[in-house]
C-alpha cells in the first residue's frame, strides 16, 4: 500500500496539474483573506483572527479535493490499467486505501503552507501573540476531518465514470450536499431539523476547540461509508 501511495504522489506532481491545483488553493485563500475587500478580508474585520479562513476553506475544498481525486480510478479505467493493477499482489482493500491516503496526503501538503497565516495573525495581534489557540487548533482538526470525508467522496465518485470531468462534477455535488444541503433544509423548514446529518454542523462544532465524540464518529463514519461504497463498486465491476 505504501508503494501505491508513493506512486499516487509522484504521478500527481509529475504533471503541472498537481502544482496548479495546490497553487490555486493557496492563491484563492490569500486573495480573499488579504487582498479582496469583503467579509473574508482579515484587515476589514479588524480582528487578528483566522475565522474567515476557516469559513472559506470548506467551500474551496469542495472544488479542490474533487480536482485531486477525480483521476484516482477514472484514469485507471480509461487507460485500461485498472485490471493490471488488480493483478498485482495487493488486495482490493489496500488499493482503495492506497488511493485514498495518497490523495489525502496531497491535500495535507496543500494545507501545510497556510500555517504561515497563524504566525501572521500572531504578529498582527494587540499585543502580539494574542490569538485564540484552542479555536485555531480545533479548526485545523476540523479541516482535517473534512478533508478525510471529502476525499472518500471524491475517490468513490472516480469509480462511477471513466470521464474525469464527470467524476469531478459528481464529487462536487456530493460534497456540497453533505456539507451544506442538510443545514439548508433545516433553515428552510424550521420544523425539520436534519442539520446533524450535514458536515457543516459537525465542522463548526469541532472548530470551537472542543472535540466531541459525536463529531469524530460522524466524520469517520462518513469517510468509512464512502470507502466501503468504493470497494463494493470496484468489486462489482
Reading the block at residue 90, the C-alpha cell is: 495487493
Q: What predicted TM-score, i.e. pTM, was given to this entire model? A: 0.91
d(CA 100, CA 87): 19
Question: Per-residue pLDDT tens for 115-151?
Answer: 888 888 877 766 666 667 778 889 999 999 999 999 9
d(CA 162, CA 166): 8
Question: Per-residue pLDDT tens for 42-85?
Answer: 877 777 778 889 999 999 999 999 999 998 888 877 777 777 77
- As a residue count, the chain comes to 237
pLDDT, position 220:
96
As a whole number, mean pLDDT of residues 17-43 equals 85
Whether the pLDDT of residue 100 is over 90: the answer is yes
d(CA 215, CA 224): 14
Roughly how many angstroms between the first and final C-alpha of the chain, as a whole number?
Answer: 21
Amino acid at each position: 500500500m505504501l508503494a501505491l501511495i508513493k506512486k499516487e504522489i509522484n504521478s500527481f506532481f509529475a504533471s503541472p496539474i498537481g502544482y496548479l491545483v495546490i497553487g490555486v488553493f493557496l492563491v484563492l485563500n490569500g486573495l480573499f483573506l488579504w487582498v479582496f475587500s469583503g467579509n473574508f478580508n482579515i484587515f476589514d474585520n479588524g480582528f487578528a483572527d483566522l475565522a474567515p479562513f476557516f469559513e472559506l476553506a470548506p467551500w474551496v475544498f469542495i472544488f479542490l479535493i474533487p480536482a485531486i481525486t477525480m483521476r484516482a480510478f477514472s484514469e485507471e479505467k480509461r487507460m485500461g490499467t485498472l485490471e493490471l493493477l488488480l493483478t498485482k499482489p495487493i488486495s482490493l482493500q489496500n488499493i482503495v486505501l492506497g488511493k485514498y491516503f495518497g490523495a489525502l496526503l496531497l491535500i495535507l501538503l496543500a494545507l501545510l503552507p497556510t500555517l504561515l497565516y497563524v504566525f501572521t495573525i500572531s504578529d498582527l495581534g494587540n499585543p502580539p501573540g494574542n490569538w485564540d489557540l484552542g479555536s485555531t487548533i480545533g479548526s485545523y482538526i476540523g479541516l482535517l476531518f473534512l478533508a478525510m470525508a471529502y476525499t472518500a467522496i471524491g475517490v468513490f465518485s472516480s469509480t462511477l465514470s471513466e470521464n474525469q470531468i464527470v467524476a469531478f462534477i459528481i464529487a462536487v455535488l456530493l460534497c456540497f450536499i453533505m456539507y451544506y444541503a442538510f443545514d439548508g433544509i433545516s433553515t428552510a423548514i424550521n420544523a425539520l431539523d436534519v442539520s446533524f446529518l450535514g458536515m457543516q454542523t459537525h465542522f463548526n462544532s469541532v472548530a470551537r476547540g472542543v472535540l466531541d465524540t459525536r463529531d469524530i464518529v460522524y466524520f469517520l463514519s462518513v469517510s468509512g461509508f464512502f470507502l466501503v461504497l468504493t470497494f463494493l463498486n470496484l468489486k462489482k465491476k
